[in-house]
Structure formats: structure tokens, C-alpha cells
């Protein structure tokens, strides 16, 4: 039996798999990346490659997304980035993150290779993986377990509040994570577009990455 037919069978039984599997894999690899030889220096690129490959393999089963309100999405992404960096040091953190300076870790051009993986991972892989799970799956599943029957952008208070709170717990900067989750949810409701949320999330991460490189405030990474 071909891999395609096997995946058809699995996804036919578990339609949430394309939405959940990349996210769970991402979380597992994030937890383990510090234990790889070389730590995050190897772990992050490996995570980006593996999760990116899974997303690519699952693309036939991912929802069709329209190019809608992308200008608004970019503006929202930049707005979230501004909120993310402004209150640094003024709010409590959920745990502690270890700053990783690639220029101190690598010699030669290794730092630039790692930075390339970091930008690609945050802007593309993370944005797609998280938005598929939070706003493609969970926010609809809370409305109705048969989530595929729930139109993208359907509003209910429980789904709005729960996804916003859980999205916050995924980030050690939980307060701005909560604000970001609320804003991305509102963008979903206004545009009815999952792609708009992916673009906004990717824009936030890209702007944050460029800000880190410009200021070398590695704690944001």
C-alpha cells in the first residue's frame, strides 16, 4: 500500500490529523531540541526541516485557503510585533528562556545559516503550524467536534476565550501572547480567512526576527 493511500485511510478516520500532527511534533521537538548535540544550534534547524517536511507531505489534506485581506493581515502582524516588543520587562514571564546568540555559538558562516533557518522556521513553519492548530482546528472543534462542518471564522465566546488563553500559555511572554491570540482571533472573525491569520502571524515573527538581528536582543528568540 502506498504512503498516500495509508495517509488517506488515517486522515479519513482522524480528520484532525493534518491540523494536530505538525503542532504536536513541533512541541515535542521544541522540548527536545536543547538535548541534541550542539543544543539549539542543531535542534532548531532540525525541527524546522522535520516539521516543514511533515507540513509539505500533508498539504493535499490541508484546507484550501483564499488570498483574502492580506494587506490587512500584514498590518495586523506588524501591530502585534509592536505590542510584543514595547512592554519588555514590564510584565511577568511564564518560565524563563535561555538567550541563544548564534554569533557566539558558531564560527565562520554557521551563524548566518542558523539565522536563515530561524527566520524560515518562525516566519513560515511556525506560522502555518500554529495557525492550522489554533485557528484552523481548535477554535472550530470547541464549537463542534465535527469541526470541518464549522465555517472558518465562526464566533462563540467559549472558543474565543479558550483559544486565546491556551495560545498565551504557549509563550513565556504570556501576557502579550494572550493579546496576540485575541488579535489573531479577531482577524479570523473579520476576514473569515485562515490564510490571513497565517500571513499576520508570519509577519509578526518576521518583524521580530529582523528586530532581534538589528538589536541583538536574543531573549526574544
Q: Taking a C-beta distance cutoff of 8 angstroms, is the pair 129, 170 a contact?
A: no
Would you list the DSSP string of 2-47?
A: -HHHHHHHHHHH-TTHHHHHHHHHHHHHHHHGGGSTTTHHHHHHHH
Question: How much is the pLDDT for 209?
Answer: 97
Do you know the residue count of the chain?
221
Q: Residue 118: pLDDT band by 50, 70, 90 thresholds?
A: very high
DSSP 3-state assignment of 25?
Answer: helix
Give which of 28, 24, 32, 33 is closest to 55, Cα–Cα: 24
Burial of 151 (0-12, 13-18, 19+ CB in 10 A): exposed
Domain count, the chain: 1
- The model's confidence at residue 7, banded by pLDDT at 50, 70 and 90, is confident
| Nearest-10 crossing angle of helices 110-120, 40-57 | 40
DSSP for 64-87?
A: P----SHHHHHHHHHHHHHHHHTT
Q: How far is CA 217 from CA 88, 147, 168, 211, in A?
A: 11, 40, 21, 8
User: Where does the pLDDT of residue 1 fall: very low under 50, low under 70, confident under 90, or very high at 90 and above?
Assistant: low
Range of the domain at 199: 3-220
Taking a C-beta distance cutoff of 8 angstroms, is the pair 114, 42 a contact?
A: no
pLDDT band at 94 (very low <50, low <70, confident <90, very high): low
Record the cell numbers describing residue 76, joined without a space. Answer: 495586523
Q: What is the pLDDT of residue 9?
A: 81
Within 8 A by CB and 6+ apart from 137, the residues are 16, 19, 20, 147
Among residues 211, 19, 175, the alpha carbon closest in space to that of 90 is found at: 175
Instruction: Report whether pLDDT(89) > 80.
Output: no
pLDDT at 132 over 80: yes
Amino acid at each position: 500500500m502506498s504512503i498516500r493511500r495509508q495517509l488517506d485511510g488515517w486522515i479519513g478516520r482522524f480528520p484532525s490529523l493534518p491540523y494536530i500532527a505538525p503542532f504536536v511534533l513541533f512541541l515535542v521537538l521544541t522540548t527536545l531540541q536543547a538535548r541534541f548535540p550542539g543544543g539549539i544550534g542543531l535542534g532548531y534547524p532540525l525541527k524546522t526541516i522535520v516539521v516543514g517536511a511533515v507540513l509539505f507531505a500533508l498539504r493535499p489534506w490541508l484546507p484550501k485557503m483564499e488570498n483574502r485581506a492580506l494587506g490587512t493581515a500584514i498590518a495586523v502582524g506588524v501591530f502585534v510585533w509592536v505590542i510584543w516588543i514595547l512592554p519588555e520587562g514590564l510584565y511577568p514571564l511564564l518560565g524563563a528562556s535561555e538567550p541563544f546568540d548564534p554569533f557566539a555559538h558558531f564560527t565562520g558562516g554557521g551563524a548566518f545559516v542558523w539565522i536563515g533557518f530561524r527566520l524560515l522556521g518562525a516566519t513560515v513553519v511556525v506560522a502555518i503550524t500554529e495557525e492550522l492548530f489554533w485557528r484552523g482546528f481548535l477554535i472550530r472543534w470547541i464549537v463542534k467536534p465535527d469541526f470541518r462542518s464549522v465555517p472558518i471564522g465562526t464566533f462563540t465566546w467559549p472558543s474565543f476565550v479558550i483559544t486565546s488563553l491556551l495560545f498565551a500559555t504557549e509563550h513565556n511572554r504570556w501576557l502579550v501572547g494572550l493579546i496576540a491570540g485575541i488579535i489573531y482571533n479577531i482577524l479570523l472573525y473579520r476576514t473569515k480567512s485562515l490564510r490571513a491569520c497565517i500571513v499576520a502571524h508570519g509577519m509578526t515573527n518576521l518583524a521580530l526576527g529582523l528586530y532581534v538581528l538589528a538589536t541583538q536582543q536574543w531573549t526574544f528568540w
